[in-house]
Amino acid sequence: MPHNHPESAERPRDFIREIVAADVAAGLHGGRVHTRFPPEPNGYLHIGHAKSICLNFGIAREFGGKCNLRFDDTNPATEETEYVDAIQDDIRWLGFEWDELHFASDYFDQLYEWACVLINKGLAYVDSQTLEEIRSQRGTLTEPGRESPHRNRSPGENLDLFQRMKAGEFPDGAHVLRAKIDMASAHLIMRDPVMYRIRHAPHHRTGDKWCIYPMYDFTHGQSDAIEKVTHSICTLEFENHHPLYDWFIENLEIFPSQQYEFARLNLTYTVMSKRKLLELVRENRVTGWDDPRMPTLCGLRRRGYTPEAIRNLCAQVGVTKFNSLTDMVVLENALRNDLNKRAERRMAVLRPLKVVITNYPDGETEQLEAINNPEDESAGKRSVPFSKVLYIERDDFMEDPPKKFFRLGPGREVRLRYAYFITCQEAIKDDSGEIVELHCTYDPATRGGDAPDGRKVKGTLHWVSAEHALDAEVRLYDHLLKVESLGDVGEDEDWKDALNPNSLETLTGCKLEPSLADVQPGTSIQFERLGYFTPDSVDHTADKPVFNRSVTLKDAWAKIQKKQG
């Protein structure tokens, strides 16, 4: 069976795209492809949603089709306009634009009519039992359920009751509209599922118009049908709903949208449940939905992640029905790969150690030329001031260095990047024995960083001139969780005990090279040898710079230490 899609040969393929391609080839719906992304506006989008967004919008783009954004807003208790706005911002930021914007709540009138259709067909009835009664009759995994005493009410009676439910004659919970399917079905979901419940609650869009609200199952497929969605792609937990999805469409005789399920994205060391993320926000475990430790799109954005990196991750993980757990390093690598090509380099010292160049003239300053991005010549060059007193990273000096430590130690010579070779002559300590300052000498002949005699050094350090340095706060982020997966947490334990207590480390008194004064939020910069950083979009000001670490650079020395340590 040959594949005749040469135009799509290089695209990432997956089982859903193959189905779509086959449907197009077969001329289904005239070859039209229409998808939708259907978030519930009860929280912010996270990177798991990004996978769904890339899939749905990506397929539409690749097959010349359309993709709608539809808010699945059938539960007035949890949904808010704040989320509606944020979700749209995040989708656009990720790089996608919808063809049509819809709200399931726009279909409430149509849905009500369709409920009446089912009542008239004898396929739906009003049940007046309590929630507990209905629950107790549902049966178990192995035993069939029992039929409600109201199951055989006449269509006329049902219609009357349903209209009065809508008219607001009854309090919450007094009645419910149920589909009349099969209380003995092996599919629990088919045991007369609830279609409508009474909720005297204002809705973020329809206000007080309704006091009955349709359930997800009685909304989603029909919304797809109304919009003539050809491929309704959702995550695995809706697989069980598939027969019901089809049942409503068939019995209503409406457009036959087809549902397909794929596995949601799971990442190590983080949580992807909206409920849990909301818990972190409400309990102030994080500063908000956009806390840079959060896996939300706004959190990742503030952290310094780029849309490209997130889209690349989604392409790399693929689309399957296998319930997988993707290593966080894949995401981190996607960011490094993107930023390595684009981010300009600067020097910044996070934990400063003072260095005095004893043989350098007092009061002199010279400008040294530095390359902005070795991966991109068009990024040009800049000058960096050098003077007698500098800062280097505390980690770059060891009093008693092991063999594999290539940096500074007593009597050792290293290169200061773009500047000079220096040799450590003396480490000055305070009364408590802590090293407070290094005295070094420099070799004037090595200006720029090369020795005319061909002498080599093992290490190159970043540095900042003390006199010219900018003071800054730098926030270092680590995993939200200290365990790979919440699946490792026992059911009797509080999942929040798995939160990493060291997920944020705030450093003050960091020293930046002066050119960093101009960096605007939204820009990613590599601090050489340290990682990629970005000004914090909330707290950064020119007077008081605040940088977030997006991701570290790969660190071979740290790896050696870890292996030996």
Partner RNA sequence: UGCCCGGUGGUGUAACGGUAGCACGAAUGACUCUGGAUCAUUUAGUCUAGGUUCAAAUCCUAGCCGGGCAACCA
x/- mask, RNA, residues 51-90, rule CB under 7 A, reads: ---------------------x-xx--x------------
Residue 238 within binding range of RNA, rule CB under 7 A:
yes
Q: Which is nearer to RNA, 96 or 213 (CB)?
A: 213
Which position among 61, 264, 285, 354 bears the catalytic label?
264
Q: How far apart are CA 404 and CA 156, in angstroms?
A: 86
Q: Kindly state the tokens that stand for 267.
A: 């990442």
Quick one: which of 4, 322, 378, 543 contacts RNA (CB under 7 A)?
A: 322
Site for RNA in 135-164 (CB under 7 A): 135, 138, 140-142
Q: Cβ contacts of residue 244 below 8 Å, gap of 6+?
A: 179, 187, 189, 190, 193, 217
Which position among 13, 40, 61, 62 bears the catalytic label?
40
Q: Which is nearer to RNA, 405 or 537 (CB)?
A: 405
Residue 257 within binding range of RNA, rule CB under 7 A:
no
Determine phi and psi for 122, rounding to 5 degrees.
75, 25
Q: Which is nearer to RNA, 100 or 375 (CB)?
A: 375
Site for RNA in 165-184 (CB under 7 A): 172-173, 176
Interacting span for RNA (CB under 7 A) from 117-125, 349-357, 473-481, 550-558: 550-558
Which position among 51, 178, 197, 274 bears the catalytic label?
274
Quick one: which of 25, 186, 436, 517 contacts RNA (CB under 7 A)?
A: 186
Residue 285 Cβ, how far from RNA at the closest point, in Å?
Answer: 21
Q: How far is CA 271 from CA 46, 206, 298, 475, 543, in A?
A: 10, 33, 15, 21, 35
- Please state the three-class secondary structure of 175-199 as a single string: CEEEECCCCCCCCHHHCCCEEEEEC
Interacting span for RNA (CB under 7 A) from 106-114, 189-197, 303-311, 511-519: 189-197
Please confirm, yes or no, whether 264 is among the known catalytic residues: yes
Residue 484 within binding range of RNA, rule CB under 7 A:
no
x/- mask, RNA, residues 214-233, rule CB under 7 A, reads: -xxx-xx-------------
Quick one: which of 155, 288, 385, 459 contacts RNA (CB under 7 A)?
A: 459
Q: Which is nearer to RNA, 278 or 504 (CB)?
A: 278
Residue 430 Cβ, how far from RNA at the closest point, in Å?
Answer: 25
Q: Cβ contacts of residue 50 below 8 Å, gap of 6+?
A: 94, 265, 297, 310, 311, 313, 314
- How many alpha carbons fall within 13 Å on the CB side of residue 341? 8
Quick one: which of 52, 129, 306, 550 contacts RNA (CB under 7 A)?
A: 129
The answer to whether 516 touches 346, Cβ cutoff 8 Å, is yes
Tell me the pairing of strands 66-71 and 34-37.
Answer: parallel
The answer to whether 413 touches 438, Cβ cutoff 8 Å, is no
Q: Which is nearer to RNA, 124 or 291 (CB)?
A: 124
Interacting span for RNA (CB under 7 A) from 203-211, 235-243, 281-289, 496-504: 235-243
Residue 316 within binding range of RNA, rule CB under 7 A:
yes
| DSSP letter for each residue of 80-137 | -HHHHHHHHHHHHHHT---S-EEEGGGGHHHHHHHHHHHHHTT-EEEE-S-HHHHHHT
Residue 90 Cβ, how far from RNA at the closest point, in Å?
Answer: 17
Site for RNA in 323-362 (CB under 7 A): 323-327, 329-330, 333, 336-337, 340, 345
Please confirm, yes or no, whether 10 is among the known catalytic residues: no
Classified as helix, coil or strand, 543 is: coil
Site for RNA in 398-457 (CB under 7 A): 404-407, 415, 417-418, 448-450
Q: Which is nearer to RNA, 116 or 339 (CB)?
A: 339
Q: Quickly tell me which residue has 């690598």 as its tokens.
A: 333
Q: How many CB atoms lie within 10 A of CB 161?
A: 22
Q: Is 56 exposed, middle or buried (0-12, 13-18, 19+ CB in 10 A)?
A: buried
Which residues are annotated as catalytic? 40, 264, 274
